[in-house]
């Protein structure tokens, strides 16, 4: 792999390829068609940067954006993004009024319905609601025994003009294990829940159940829209299939620089606990990333790439750094050389390698990369227009506008959202036309 150059100096850096995001969204759209695609950009787009990723996904044809919390959706609105957004995770302290005023759709599992209605009444503006049924995951979602009551209450509020039920949705539990029969059960329960809602008189705009693994392996779960998260970042949800086999391109490369390089004798202990001892005279390399940057402290048995070769990470990961054993004293002077922890391509480790080494999943590896690691974006609109290299962007410059700019953007959003139903219906319709 030839690494992406950056005109900015860096000690550590996450390079995000927005062209990969676009390619993944287009590929997933083709798989899901004629269903629409919701690009899930919660948790700062799985660590990739919510605003630039959201823009890239929309440019590639995603019709909706998905977030966990209203605060995440409000940040997208403040950045000038006016596409349909759904937020689905709330507490009694959630500011429903702020979300409704910004035109963000509300996921409702039960208890939220009355607070949402109260906020809508206060604003004199109907809320756009997606009712969630628990089809077997056992987290959020209305229990099946209470589903008919929730639907009937929503119908009453809709008749009063306080809300509009836009959709019905649920979430798959084991779609990443395609052989599991529980997914069949969840699809069946979802169909039953949709039938109850439609028989009660609800005219649903979208029915959505499939996540990334469901999109890739269960066409019967696509319905009107799929919610893709991991897939748009180019990672595989399946243990036995690589991103390449699924037609996906990993979007993140995590890299650093060699901070120190020294020769040591056999028997040299490495890092806290001294649980690693060199077996022969060798060269140790220090890399300035640690668990404060999101590197799992528990990781073992992983490698990094330096100069096109792979070397073992040894000893315990510290807060700010880890050590690599080159197992040679003939490596030459490496101070300042690039170290690639993971990324796309055959010559470097990938996020799945790190997930195995940490006993976790690749979702966590990319998502936990901390804000202390600057993001650098390639494949930006400017790069595409003039053929040059993407402008380097520090995190603060890319994601934070001045107070005046934020106020102006918020004013534009409020004006654009004056008629929320027309706006969202039109946007979704356009997306459907693209996918037809």
Q: What residues are labeled active site?
A: 42, 272
* Alpha-carbon Rg for the chain in angstroms: 24
Query: Do residues 134 and 150 make contact, with C-beta atoms less than 8 angstroms apart?
Result: no
- Rounded alpha-carbon distances, angstroms, from residue 259 to 254, 288, 290, 328, 334: 16, 6, 13, 18, 9
Structure tokens that stand for 247 in this block: 């037609």
- Rounded alpha-carbon distances, angstroms, from residue 230 to 11, 130, 252: 27, 22, 12
- Start-to-end CA distance of the chain, whole Å, equals 37
Residue 400 CB-half CA count within 13 A: 6
Residue 137: exposure state from Cβ atoms within 10 A (0-12, 13-18, ≥19): middle
């Amino acid at each position: 792999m030839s690494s992406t150059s950056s005109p900015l100096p860096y000690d550590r850096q996450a390079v995000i390829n927005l062209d990969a995001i676009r390619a993944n969204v287009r590929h997933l759209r083709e798989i899901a068609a004629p269903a629409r695609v919701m690009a899930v950009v919660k948790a700062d787009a799985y660590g990739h940067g919510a605003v630039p990723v959201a823009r890239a996904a929309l440019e590639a044809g995603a019709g909706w954006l998905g977030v966990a919390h209203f605060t995440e959706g409000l940040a997208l609105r403040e950045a000038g993004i006016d596409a349909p957004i759904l937020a689905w995770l709330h507490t009694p302290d959630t500011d429903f009024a702020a979300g409704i005023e910004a035109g963000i759709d509300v996921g409702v599992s039960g208890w939220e319905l009355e607070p949402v209605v109260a906020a809508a009444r206060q604003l004199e503006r109907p809320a756009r609601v997606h009712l969630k049924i628990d089809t077997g995951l056992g987290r959020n979602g209305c229990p099946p025994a209470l589903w008919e009551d929730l639907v009937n209450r929503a119908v009453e509020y809709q008749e009063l003009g306080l809300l509009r039920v836009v959709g019905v949705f649920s979430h798959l539990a084991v779609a990443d294990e395609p052989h599991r029969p529980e997914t069949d059960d969840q699809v069946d329960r979802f169909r039953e829940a949709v039938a109850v809602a439609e028989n009660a008189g609800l005219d649903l705009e979208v029915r959505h159940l499939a996540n990334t693994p469901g999109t890739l392996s269960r066409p019967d779960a696509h319905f009107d829209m799929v919610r893709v998260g991991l897939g748009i970042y180019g990672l595989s949800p399946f243990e036995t299939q690589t991103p390449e086999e699924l037609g996906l391109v990993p979007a993140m490369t995590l890299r650093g620089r060699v901070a120190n390089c020294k020769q040591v004798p056999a028997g040299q202990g490495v890092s806290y606990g001294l649980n690693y001892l060199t077996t022969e005279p060798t060269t140790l390399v220090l890399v300035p990333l640690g668990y404060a940057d999101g590197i799992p402290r528990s990781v073992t048995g992983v490698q990094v790439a330096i100069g096109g070769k792979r070397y073992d990470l040894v000893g315990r990961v510290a807060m700010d750094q880890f050590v690599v054993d080159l197992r040679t004293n003939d490596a030459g002077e490496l101070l300042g050389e690039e170290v690639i922890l993971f990324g796309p391509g055959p010559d470097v480790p990938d996020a799945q390698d790190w997930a195995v080494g940490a006993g976790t999943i690749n979702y966590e590896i990319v998502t936990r990369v901390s804000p202390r690691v600057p993001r650098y974006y390639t494949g930006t609109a400017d790069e595409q227009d003039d053929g040059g290299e993407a402008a380097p962007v520090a995190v603060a410059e890319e994601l934070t506008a001045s107070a005046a700019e934020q106020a102006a953007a918020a004013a534009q959003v409020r004006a654009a959202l004056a008629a929320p139903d027309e706006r969202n219906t039109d946007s979704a319709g356009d997306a459907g036309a693209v996918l037809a």
